[in-house]
Structure 1
């Protein structure tokens, strides 16, 4: 099976040291990306760790596809114990960082301990002496600096462009539980609050540079060229509107959360539609090596706001869910979140919750003020920075989360399979973990489409989809490659049998679940605010567990040593 190359680089922030470990056997088993990160986290993060404590660890990695020149491969993975969900969480980001990460020559980077001083950590290609080239730079002057200011600093002082930088904004330093790690200025490791983990370790930024990947002589199958060619020639609407191309469809089928989830359609949808976003797009945008170019550099000439996006989930969170019907206002909120280092979905949802409590839906000025208050934990922002799950009671609101993570769009009350996918996802109410919604709108070929109502036959499909997505996140391949990276092509790209890839995906999902079980998660966490409204939900959940070979209480059976990714670390390691 094709896999990532290189050792594990461990950076001890307490001691300010760096060391490498050969992980060839682990790479051969877990490929890279999310799979590799999950296996390392399962072995090395104590089950009772505090997500914001020094015993937590944060992993960054790429997969084998980042050594190719194939489309859909400009992404990389990050994994840690989430301060938002209190469980294991993987996130991935696009942009251009992944190629510079592979250039440094490591399969994965592990951050351990914590620094008392605010640091930038610079990782360069291993030196001629075989020792890691890691520099620890104190950056007190970057305290609470916005993301673009961090990029500017390293462009000026180290001749490194934003695509070499992963950093946090003020939100990460202030332990906002849904803070992002940002790269290329506008791309985010968004969900789960990994920016707060980086902040808790006293790290403002990581930079990567080197040419090690260029020395690898890898033989890629013909399918790699086919994927790239089809990405270039596709006439997909996503090339013009990105993910916002689904906005009006979601509204038509009552799957667009609105007014803090009180409604599932929005009368002002035209003002935040894909057409409105496309009107603000002023150039093409893409990720490293990708010819699909679905990103959305946007600009409003009248106000001067310039950002990348908003994507559909941001349009939902800061648009329909907040009662805001002007795409420029959504662009402003999106720009603020990127600069301050905030996940737009969780931030928009918690802001919408506050708007509901104050009867202020549609107040775009208040929205922007709240985003800033959250990032700096000022005023009411200090409570909102804890996220919907921890704050909802104080504001008299419903808890619209799964496992503490706020909901994305594609409402499960209309798309019932996606509702089940929200419930089972190990990282919470995230739409890309099971990614079931394309079958129910549908956004796939008619032969693959499913009735959005009901759950009959869907658990088996969901298991296969979760497994496949775990492999994509390990390869690492963008999920917008659906229809182009077919099952056969995925198997060819990874030099593996597709059934073996399904088994790998199942193992990754199970390791995540076992880790969370050890922290107290069970069936009671696999639920929805509207579970009673979906016919057959409990039976489908039991079927899902049975298909995975898990206990009916949502826990993984004790497999003894067979479950371990390697050998469990102790809290003292």
Structure 2
């Protein structure tokens, strides 16, 4: 089976040491990306670790396809014990980092320990250098890029950086690359902040050999990406704003309403009007990114994408796309997940009856990132503060909801309930077949097997670190088989192992069926959750039996 090659580089920022380990066996079994990172995190992070303590570790990993010329492969994976959800969490980001990363000769870089000084960690194919950078304390993401460029000629595509939010351990702080691409959900940037790592840089010319025998498949995918007339190439995911508002649901005013009267002012057409050039990720011909600009108001950013339009637009009661663009840009500069930041601010607006107050929203973004005033409270995320705000807790396992509304697409609601990441739409993307009438949107009964297939497939997607746009449009089952040179069911078995490892880790931290809940009722939800457990081979309490992980896991700390 196709898998990444390259070593594990463990960087201990406390001891200022670097060690290289052969992980060929792990790569053969887990491919790369999210899979190998989850395996390493499960085995090497103590089950009782504090997410913001020195025993937590964070993993950056490529997959095998980052050494191909195929579209939809310009991505990287990041994994750690989430400060927001308290479970293992993986996120991936696009841009141009991946090719520079694999040039160092490593397939995984593990950051461990805790530095007593703010650091820039420079990883090359010749070794690792630790640079103390106290002068960069409080610097924004673009400011760090500018400094690394002046000192070393490094570009945004060489860097993984945290802004003030990461330094201040905001629980939804992002790690940023290419200045505007985010390892967004779950607070992975806060882990780097807890370790006093301001940025990591990657460069080299020593990419390990990877056997990529299916060049014809790669070129066919690339050709289809280049010639597609898909609206997502013009409007990114913001095309969905009007479609969901008119036909399904667009969460509005902190999830209290399900459509927004100003949707036409913040939809994909408005974003496309502000788009001033094309942009892509590394080697990708789909070119779906959204560089946007409003010259009159002096706002320039990349995006916003659909989820940001929801969180800072409809869910915050804001009906001006330029205001949302500014919120997006502030979050990128300060290093925060736009979904969680926007939703948390929406919760505060609900508590203060201030929906639509744009000046307050932009002020709160700054205050959260720097933990100033009320921002210190909001930096903890909705799950930890909803009682103080006297608002409903719109989270699952600490993760606030994405825009795809499980109250309307019920299988996606089931997914939110059971997913190891909580209310994150990318874990299963089950809303896609529900929107497209492949399966009915209403009801949860009978959807467990379908959900499991999607979870497993997406886990393998994240092992190869493929873009969801490719998976949903060009890379169907037969292409998956051709890429991996393996039967589809055997490919899905890898995803099954990953989901089980994530769940097993959470079980060891005290998580069980009591955490698989929603803040709203759905038809047959309880029985459908039990159906899901049974199909996964878990107990009625949502526990992974030891024999499901015994062959490929070891207890952390052994």
TM-score w.r.t. length of structure 1: 0.96
Deviation at 1:217, TM superposition (A): 6.5
**Could you tell me how far apart the structure 1 residues matched to 2:292 and 2:18 are?**
40
Within the candidate set 389, 411, 418, 1:417 is matched to 411
Match of 1:106 in 2: 106
Deviation at 1:476, TM superposition (A): 1.3
**Could you tell me how far apart the structure 1 residues matched to 2:93 and 2:550 are?**
31
Match of 2:269 in 1: 275
Deviation at 1:440, TM superposition (A): 1.6
**Could you tell me how far apart the structure 1 residues matched to 2:49 and 2:429 are?**
29
Deviation at 1:338, TM superposition (A): 0.1
Q: Secondary structure at the match of 1:212?
A: coil
1:549 and 2:543 matched: no
- What is the total number of aligned residue pairs between the two structures? 557
**Could you tell me how far apart the structure 2 residues matched to 1:561 and 1:525 are?**
21
Deviation at 1:219, TM superposition (A): 3.0
Match of 2:119 in 1: 119
Within the candidate set 259, 284, 298, 2:292 is matched to 298
**Could you tell me how far apart the structure 1 residues matched to 2:457 and 2:212 are?**
24
What are the equivalent positions in structure 2 for 1:374-413 lying under 5 Å apart?
A: 374-413=368-407
**Could you tell me how far apart the structure 2 residues matched to 1:503 and 1:14 are?**
37
**Could you tell me how far apart the structure 1 residues matched to 2:53 and 2:172 are?**
16
**Could you tell me how far apart the structure 2 residues matched to 1:141 and 1:91 are?**
29
1:480 and 2:474 matched: no
Match of 1:505 in 2: 495
What are the equivalent positions in structure 2 for 1:250-289 lying under 5 Å apart?
A: 250-289=244-283
Deviation at 1:255, TM superposition (A): 1.7
**Could you tell me how far apart the structure 2 residues matched to 1:563 and 1:34 are?**
19
1:309 and 2:298 matched: no
Deviation at 1:563, TM superposition (A): 4.7
**Could you tell me how far apart the structure 2 residues matched to 1:253 and 1:421 are?**
21
Describe the superposition over 1:130-186 as per-residue Cα deviations: whole angstroms up to 9, x where unpaired. Answer: xxx100000001001000000111111111110000010000000100000000000
**Could you tell me how far apart the structure 2 residues matched to 1:561 and 1:349 are?**
36
**Could you tell me how far apart the structure 2 residues matched to 1:22 and 1:465 are?**
31
Cα RMSD after superposing both structures: 1.2
CA contact 1:89–1:192 (8 Å) conserved in 2: yes
CA contact 1:61–1:109 (8 Å) conserved in 2: yes
1:464 and 2:458 matched: no
TM-score w.r.t. length of structure 2: 0.98
CA contact 1:351–1:384 (8 Å) conserved in 2: yes
What are the equivalent positions in structure 2 for 1:139-288 lying under 5 Å apart?
A: 139-213=133-207, 218-288=212-282
Match of 2:555 in 1: 568
CA contact 1:255–1:412 (8 Å) conserved in 2: no
Q: Secondary structure at the match of 1:331?
A: helix
Describe the superposition over 1:261-310 as per-residue Cα deviations: whole angstroms up to 9, x where unpaired. Answer: 00111111011100000000000011001100111000011111000000
Match of 1:130 in 2: none
Residue 561 to residue 179, structure 1, CA distance change in 2 (3 Å): closer
CA contact 1:43–1:564 (8 Å) conserved in 2: no
Q: Secondary structure at the match of 2:106?
A: coil
Gaps of 5+ in 1: 128-132
Residue 560 to residue 319, structure 1, CA distance change in 2 (3 Å): closer
Describe the superposition over 1:463-519 as per-residue Cα deviations: whole angstroms up to 9, x where unpaired. Answer: 000000000000111111112011111121122211111111000000000000111
CA contact 2:7–2:106 (8 Å) conserved in 1: yes
What are the equivalent positions in structure 2 for 1:25-174 lying under 5 Å apart?
A: 25-125=25-125, 127=126, 133-174=127-168
CA contact 2:500–2:544 (8 Å) conserved in 1: yes
**Could you tell me how far apart the structure 1 residues matched to 2:247 and 2:75 are?**
31
Describe the superposition over 1:440-460 as per-residue Cα deviations: whole angstroms up to 9, x where unpaired. Answer: 222xxx6xx222111233111
Within the candidate set 454, 457, 480, 1:490 is matched to 480
